[in-house]
Structures are given as structure tokens and as C-alpha cells.
Structure 1
């Protein structure tokens, strides 16, 4: 305890003088308290040891006013050893508006703007600190939210840039997924996008199922996660989920993908409770970005399919026939096999439109398409070359096999049903290809079409072989 120095001048009335001084000090503290309460959420005083001699925080921190009297002020600091700058409760210099995180009674933290001044004894020694604090937690949290938002925006920008660096955005998803996992500090991850049922046609650059793993080796732990990702979804569970599997904290996200099956993604860290809701939101936003690329790929496939198929009959169109036959020719040449193209024209099809109307004409074309598809093997090709002209590619068949098929078509025709039964007859032109000639598809189509037109001019309902046979 500090004592006043002795004086050689006698004090005529020490009791009264001491009482007046104490009353003055108490009055001064009350005035200081009244003024600071108008603007402050925390008022405090500490002694030379950093223990509270006065503490009042109202509802800001949740501490009862007298509970901390005599307690060490470090109790309110979250990181005493690593705290930037001196403790505001032990400072030897004036503090003006320094942000400090102070522990609340419930264990959470509040951000306070601290103003403090050191106290000195009559002898000039450090005697403690008097100060006040203003709660700015809402502002600090808002700034933190903005920082998180900026971080998320930067991560999304980086993975989007990675995806756009590839010729096909779908091919950019695996490296972008790995970058996302690295930025989030994930120990591993799996991304799955499955092909819709019935869709099997993909280019070499755009394969069906996309299954990407951060680590190549499949462990039982990863196999379990993949099985969970492949579980059927009822269409509603698209919110990120936290799961604990084999000592790992796992985030699982799903995203709808238009024109495609939903995409699923899992990321994990070693340990439990290590992911935050912000991490889950970022992972979900990244998966939505991947889903956009998957949607674009699915849309491109749909456009490519429409470019190769006739929308009325569902058969290959002329370009589709040329593409598919061209793709098969090298294999036929290697195996020294022939192939034959039949170009089939409907006889007097204009009479159908004139008699029954154009809608009936469309129905007639659809029924003929079904008849021709059913008349060939699964390995053969059927297409609509334009108007009422169809094409059949008999894979590996020579001239004689194709002639038998053409004879059947011409003898039987096709029975269709409009407002009344109608039988359509065919004019068929044949063009056989010998593997030694290397003849192209366009040449085959021209030869078979010429033979078909010659049959039409002769009255139809017959078949004819191209006069310019493909020869060695």
C-alpha cells in the first residue's frame, strides 16, 4: 500500500482532512463512471499486478460487476502470450482506440475498442490502469464476413480460370477440383458426375462418367465415400452435409445439372469438427461452378446429337450417316470386308401428302423409318438422307447379300396406317464397296442415288445396282 510522505508541519485536523480527501476521490470516481457509462460498454481499473479493482460491463460481456474484482485481468484475454502489443489492462503507455478481443462470460469473444491510461502512485511508480471499452463486435464481424466473401470470390475465380484454360471446360474440372482441395486444405476428395441412362454417345475428348480422385489409390475409406456419393437422391437433398467417417471430417455436396445426372463431391480432412460452415458454403459454390461446365458439355452433346440426327424420325441424317460410315471404313479395310449402301426412295410419296395432308405425310415417314430400322441388324446403320429418301448401310455385307435385302423390300413394300391402310413401294439403288478400292462415303452415296433415280424413272418398285461398280 502506498502511504503519504510525512511532513514536519503539524496537521491541525488530520481526521477531517483525510475524510474530505476520500470523499473527493469517491466523488471523482462517480463522476468518471457516470460520464463513461454514456459512451462505454466496459469500465475498468486494475492495480499494479494487473488485477481488477473495479469492473463494470453491463450486458456487453455478461460478467457480473463484482465477480472479477481481485481476478487477474489475463482471464479476459484469449491469447495472452501471442496477443499483439501489451495487455490493455497492464499497459504503461496510453492506449487510444486499440481493437482487442475480450472473452465474454459465456466463453465467446467480443471485439472492443479500448481506451486506457496508466495510473501512478504519488512516488511515480506504476499503480495500475484505468480505461474503458466500446463494443464494435458487429462491425468486426461484418468486416470478417467481407473478408471471407472476398476469399471465396478469389477461390472461385481461380478455379474458373483453371477450367477455362482447357479446350473443353469439362476437361478443366479435375485440375480445378484439385486446386479447390488444396486451397481448402483437404486431405483428399472425390468428384462424380454420372451419365444419364440411355446416353452412350460421347467423343473421345468428352467421355461419359466423370470420376476424379485427389489421390489415385482407392482405399476402403475412399470406396465408402464413393458409395455414399452414388446413393440414389430423392431430388431434395442438395444442401452440403457434414459427416464423420473413420476419424475424418467429410463434406458432401450435390448439385443439380441440367441435361445430365446430378454431380456429387466429397472433401475430407483428418480429424473431427475441423470444417466450418464457410468451408461447406465455398465447396457448394465450387460444385455449382463445376455443374455449369457439366451442363455446357451436356448441352453441346445434345446439339451435336441434333446435328447428326433427323428430328422427325430419330434416324441419322445425311451428315450423321457420312460420319458413322466413315468411322467404320478403316476397320472394314483392316479386316478385308466389304460394305454396301442402299439408297431407298418412296414411290409417289407426293400422293400421300396430296391425299391425306402433310401431317399424315410426316406420320408415313416415321412409320417407314421404324420399318427400315427393324429390317436391319443392330450393327447396320439406317438414316434419312433427305425428304422421302432413306439410306441403309449393311456393315460387312457384299453385293449379293444387299441384293437379297433389296429384293425383299421391293416385293413387300411397307404397310402403313393413316386414316386408312396404305402400302408404299420402294425404289432401291445399291452401291457395294470393295475394301481394296478405298472408295469414300460421298462416292458411295452418289452411285447408289444415281441407281435409285434410274429405278424411279422406270416406274419404281424395283432395285438396281450402280453401273459404276467399285472395283480393285
Structure 2
């Protein structure tokens, strides 16, 4: 009935006192003339000169036309839709409480926005956080084998990365629209997965961030495919470089030296060693090492495994996880490559582990070619009479050992041998018998040394032996064995009354000071001189202080 009067050309006043509608009749002076049963809130607004109500009344008074206004927001206890109708001597102000439908509409709009944000991509996980990073919503109930039901109401970082390392760029710590790719995450079985996480900021009317919404997609298969392609490209590139080295290198030092340099660069390593496996253990044949690196690789060398149940082994020594791969030709392990870096700062990735295994074959081929170079070098450097290394070849081999030992901290012993009264053999029995005596001594030396050791004829009746990784007692025992064998040589020469014997000077190499063969040889020679001066046919040790030890008693 009221509406019908609103629409008439000459509206007349109708009674509203008994009306259930929220209405009030206001005089031209804005005084209250009549109030409906539910209109008290309008009376209060008029009395308080509410700006929205007063603006509406002023507008109708000026235009004499029906007008409406909205009253909502944080300043009002309820939302109202106001309509003001001009009458002959008053205004009819009618209102409708829209608080409930407005909130329902707002909730629907918010939910729609939430669902749109969460479903913008085919998400495997959807979540909402408040401004403190607390989870207020999460779906589904299971994510990669982990139940998410208990996540609501808890800190997102704590529950999501529970028992795992939090990424440096934490998706739950941002308050702006952000995307995070290849985020590592362990599933319930401890297997590493990869996620893409998208974050959208939730802003209030003033533009202030009041929370975030996000989605996570599992991209593990894609990442692994990309990693496999990248790894294959790296393997092929590395294989090409190593193959070029095999084709162009002209010495064992060049083959292995360039190979370890390539490996060091590829893996950003502090140190790379290639060890050759002998019956007596490992010796380094090539190495690259950061001079500033403080790590005792002598300890590492002693712990190198000789059996490999897996393609790769990790050796935890001095806080470093050294990565070791066997170099296998056929079914025989001929050595290992060891790659080291500070894994506390930069742990080995699965891709790096697989890559080192993948290039193991070509590194084994490099070691094999280096061995062929060494064999040719030894053949060309052999002493024709004794078939031991000549002086030049022996010196070159020992200098290489000293170079690697300076990096690994290992050590060896140099034996300097001089035959006593050898001139008597030549003078009384002739040079042919003298040559036979030299060959017999050389044969005893070859029987004494291991494949890991080196022996040579230094000149005339002087011999030299390099014994790898040996202590003083063992070195003395070997020297005694050679001296004891001289009686057998005298018998083979059919001259028991010969004075032919042997004097031995021994010195142990000192790693870490860059000692050369010349310096080492001088120390051994001084020890030998002590034997000669004390009566010959005995052994003496050179001490680390460059002084000689006591001459041992004659052993014959």
C-alpha cells in the first residue's frame, strides 16, 4: 500500500505507526513526526545527524524526487538500504536491514575468489594462511603420504617442513604474489619430490596484506626428466673433452693432469685425486688440490676401500663427504677417482653422483693410457745391463711421487745402495763377471720390491730403490734382506773369499715441504757415507733434521 502511494503523482501521507516496516516520518525541519514499530534505529540516526541520512534528506528536499542511499561499513552496526519519499509537508524515510544478505553475498564472493585463486592451476595442494603464517585452510586431507588434517591452526613453515631443511627462499614467508619453482620436499617415505608453489597475497580495502593463499603442484617427474637431459648433455660434453685429452696428450702426466683438472672444474671441487691400486695399496698418480685446503689426505688415502658393492662410495673423513668411484676395466678395479669439497656448505647432489659414475669408464681409460705411457717411458728409460730404470727415468718417477705425496701427506723411503769392494771383482775376475754381479743384485732388488715400488741403477755399482708407504722397521728389514743376499751372490760367482758386500743409506721423504729428489738423494747419500766411514756392509738412516742416525752393526 505504501509502495502504491510512493508511485502516485501526488503522494499523500499514510499512517506508519502500526507498520512492521522500518520507517519514520520526518518533518521539513528534520524533526520526527511518526515512527513505525521497528523504526527506532532510524530515529537515532536522524537525531545523531548521521551524514548518510542527512545527505539523503537534503537531496530529496532539493529535488522533490524519491532517492535512495546505502549505509554499510565498519562504522555501522548494521547495513541499511534507505529510501526517502517526498510528501506534502514531510519526508517518509523507509529502510531495509541488508546486513545478513550482504554478508552472505560477501562470503560467496570471497569464496569464489578463494576457489579461483586456488584452482588457477591444477593444484595438488591448496592452502590459506593468515598474516602470521598460520594455516587457516588446507586441502586435500593427504599430501604425498602426509596427513594435512592437523595442519590447520599451526605455523605453515613448522608443519610443512617438519623434520626437513627449510629452503632459503621459504614460500610461506612472503607477503607478495610470488612463484617458487623446483622446491624440494620429502614425501612420507623419505623420497625427494619437487614442487612448484604459487603464492597470492590477500589484501584488505586499504591494500594491507592480511594473509596469503597458495597452491602447490608436484613436478617431480618433469624435474627428473630435465635433470636427466641436463646430465646427459654434461656427460657427453665431459666425455668429448676427456676423449680429446686421450687423443692429444703425449705423456701420462698430461693425460691424468688434464683429466683431473676437468673433473675439478666440473664438480667445483677443492681436490681431485686419481689413485692406482697395487697389491700394496693405493698411490696417487694424479691430483689437483686447492693449496689453501686444510685436509689430511694421508688419512683419506689410508681409508680408501678396495671393494665396491655399489658404483659409488662416500668416505666421511674430517667433516667432508669424499665422493669415490672405482675405475674398472673389465671386472678388475685398477684404481679410484676421489672428488672432495666442503659438503657442509655444498652437499653432493644426486645429479653429480650419477655424473661421476657415468664418466668413470672414460677416466679408467685415461688411467689405462697413462699406464701405457709409463710403460713406454720405463722401457725407454731402462738400464740396458740390469733392466732397472736408469738414473734419469728413476729421478723423474720419484719426483712425480713426491709431488703427489706433498698433496696427500703420504711418504716413502729412498734406499741408496753402494756395492762394497766391487772394484775387486772387476780387477780379479774381469768385467763380464762384474756385469753378472750387477745383474744378480738387480734381480734380488726386483724380487724384493712390490709393483707399487720403483728401482733403478744410479750409476756404476750404485742402486736406488723407492719404497712407497713404508715405516722405518720394514725399510730396515728389506735392506737387511738385500745385504744378507750378498753371500748368495758371492757363491754364484764361485768366489767365496770375495769381500763383495753392500752398504745402504735410507731416508724417509717429508711431505708438505716440497722436497725434491735431489734433496732426498743428498740425505740418503749422507747416511750412506756414515756406513762407509764406519766400516761398510751395514745400514744407516738419515733423520728428518738432515742428520744421520747411528750406523747399524755389520750384518754379515
User: What is the TM-score of this pair, normalised by structure 1?
Assistant: 0.46
Larger radius of gyration: 2
User: What is the TM-score of this pair, normalised by structure 2?
Assistant: 0.40
